[in-house]
Structure 1
Amino acid sequence: MKKIVLALALVTLCLSVNAQKMNSNNKKITVIEDRIAIKNLVDTFSVLADVKDVKTQLLLFTENAEVSSVTNGKPGGTLTGRKQIGEAFAGFLNLFDVVYHINGQQTVTLNGNKASGISYCQVALIGTENNKKMKTTMGVIYHDDYVKENGHWLINKRQSNFTWTEKTEMKP
């Protein structure tokens, strides 16, 4: 009888250790999935800007999201809510014939269903100014706060830091 009790205790201990390992692995997988989803969120934002699909782009933000900007260290305005953000994005993108984002490094800090992150981006904008084809290239650092709603990560707050700008005339 003692052998049976000892054997049951050992089996229970092994099952408990395996359950803890599985729980730890599940947490690691969730972290990896969340990081990939947030990277995809930021990249999708850029792709939708490039094709000027503001309507779909707005779905990447929470209903009451805030977007603010800083240019060369000077604060700009703040947009609140999808409607205001959408009007501003559409008006800006319509100034250009070509919009092209290249996303770079990103860091993310996860905290349950909330996260914060920093993403680097280079943006090229091609449009016409004074009857000349001009290319404006900007270095942007996004400081974002994200929330997970209904299983999907969304941008809740974004500060776009336009750290440098270069403007050149394009040759025909």
Structure 2
Amino acid sequence: MKLRTKETLRELVDAYALLGDEKKISEQMSLFTPDAVYTVYMNGIVVADIKGTDNLQKEFNGHASAVKTYFTLNGQHNVKISGDSATGTSFSTIKMIREHEGKDIITDYSVRYDDTYIFLNNKWLIAQRIGHFIIVEARPINN
């Protein structure tokens, strides 16, 4: 049972990345509890603290409108399961291409996510996601 739950939670984290890369924000919101909290740290400073999927969807849509291309690669994913809740840590490399002054700029993000998951209505959902953007590097891209 625990092995299947771990696999399901990994699939949840991967679905979040895939839907984000495809800019399918409304579908991505279905992976969260309605009252989910999403917090982002950059250089140890909180730069976003969003509560609820309505607010999260607005924020993600605004962000996605400024990004030409997303590419996410997920790495390790460790979870601890306790009944109908679980915690997990996952690592991702995210690349984003935006246009700035007529040039494409690629930004590489190295991110650690600390998640809290809840089993609700017969499926696992993200109740809280804390993103620690540890390394951020931006540079012009040669197309």
**2:129 alignment partner in structure 1:** 158
Cα distance in 1 for partners of 2:12, 2:45 equals 27
Q: 2:54 aligns with which of 83, 87, 110?
A: 83
**2:89 alignment partner in structure 1:** 118
**2:29 alignment partner in structure 1:** 58
Which consecutive residues of structure 2, in runs of 5 or more, have no partner in the other structure?
none
Q: Higher strand proportion, which one?
A: 2
Amino acid at match of 1:31: K
Of structures 1 and 2, the one with the larger relative CO (CA 8 A, separation 6+) is 2
Aligned pairs (5 A) from 1:36-51: 36-51=7-22
Cα distance in 2 for partners of 1:47, 1:94 equals 17
**1:77 Cα offset (Å):** 2.7
**2:70 alignment partner in structure 1:** 99
**1:34 Cα offset (Å):** 0.5
**1:76 Cα offset (Å):** 2.1
Share of identical aligned residues, percent?
A: 27
TM-score scaled by length of structure 2: 0.98
TM-score scaled by length of structure 1: 0.81
Q: Secondary structure at the match of 1:43?
A: helix
Instruction: Give 1 or 2 for the bigger CA radius of gyration.
Output: 1
**1:93 Cα offset (Å):** 1.4
Cα distance in 2 for partners of 1:170, 1:75 equals 28
**2:142 alignment partner in structure 1:** 171
Cα distance in 1 for partners of 2:25, 2:141 equals 27
Q: 1:140 aligns with which of 111, 119, 125?
A: 111
Aligned residue pairs: how many? 143
